[in-house]
Structure 1
């Protein structure tokens, strides 16, 4: 029967052995990723040749000043207005039915084409022409839509 182990001896690596182990791991990683490392080196060389590495280095050195300038630009009134307007527009778009929006956009495109054709004819419209046009179901539908749109906007503005 074997003797029980009473003492476990932990082998400590010397500094030189640790360095050799690290180098072996590094060489193994390099050999496994040769293509990507070469691409990275080419990219860095291109950045260097174009002067971008110098610009990035300068930017990093002046990071505090650059951050102050960026924050200063972002807090300007026109930029904050743009951000607030974009957020408001995003909020409006989330409330709209996508199917209705798509239908409206297609109708608007068709209307613009028709209006362009009407400009080419260049005829004058009189009061009786307007009255007659209201009997056209398509025009009547669009005018009704516009009036309802104006009604809803007016109600919204009252709030």
Structure 2
């Protein structure tokens, strides 16, 4: 019959053996990830060449100061107003029909082009020109649209 094990001998590696094993593991990982490591090195070289790496290192060293400045800038009233306005505009845009918005933006672009042509021609507009323009279906449509927009704005302001 076999003799029972009474003691367990733990194999302790020397410091040199631990270093050699770590180095062997590292070399194995490098060999397995050669392509990604080469790309990473190339990226770091480009960042270094352009000076971006040095700037990033400097930013990391003074991260608390940069964070204080950034937070200070973001909490200024003009910035918070801008954020609030952007959120309100985004909310309003979600309620609008995208096709109508597209049509309106195209119409505004076309109108600005016509306005530029009118400025370049240098012609003067008199009262009779205005009365004659009212009979133009395109101008009449735009005026009606404008009046409807003003009506809606007025109703919205009353609430």
Q: TM-score range by the shorter chain?
A: 0.7 to 0.9
Give per-residue Cα distances to partners, 1:37-63, cap 9 Å, x unaligned.
122123323434444444333332322
Report the CA distance between 1:107 and its aligned residue. Answer: 1.0
Give per-residue Cα distances to partners, 1:46-83, cap 9 Å, x unaligned.
43444444433333232222211211111111211111
SS in 1 for 2:123: coil
Which residue matches 1:111?
Answer: 111
How many matched pairs?
153
So what's the TM-score if we normalise by structure 1? 0.78
Which residue matches 2:120?
Answer: 120
Report the CA distance between 1:101 and its aligned residue. Answer: 0.4
Which residue matches 1:68?
Answer: 68
Which residue matches 2:156?
Answer: 156
Report the CA distance between 1:157 and its aligned residue. Answer: 1.4
Give per-residue Cα distances to partners, 1:73-98, cap 9 Å, x unaligned.
11111211111111111111111110
Relative to structure 2, which stretch is displaced further, 109-118 or 75-84? 109-118
Task: Give the Cα separation in 2 of the matches to 1:117 and 1:28.
Answer: 71
Which residue matches 1:132?
Answer: 132
Q: How well do the aligned residues superpose, as a CA RMSD in angstroms?
A: 2.8
So what's the TM-score if we normalise by structure 2? 0.78
Report the CA distance between 1:19 and its aligned residue. Answer: 5.8
Which residue matches 1:4?
Answer: none
> Structure 1 regions of 5+ residues with no counterpart?
1-6
Task: Give the Cα separation in 1 of the matches to 2:58 and 2:113.
Answer: 53
> Structure 2 regions of 5+ residues with no counterpart?
none
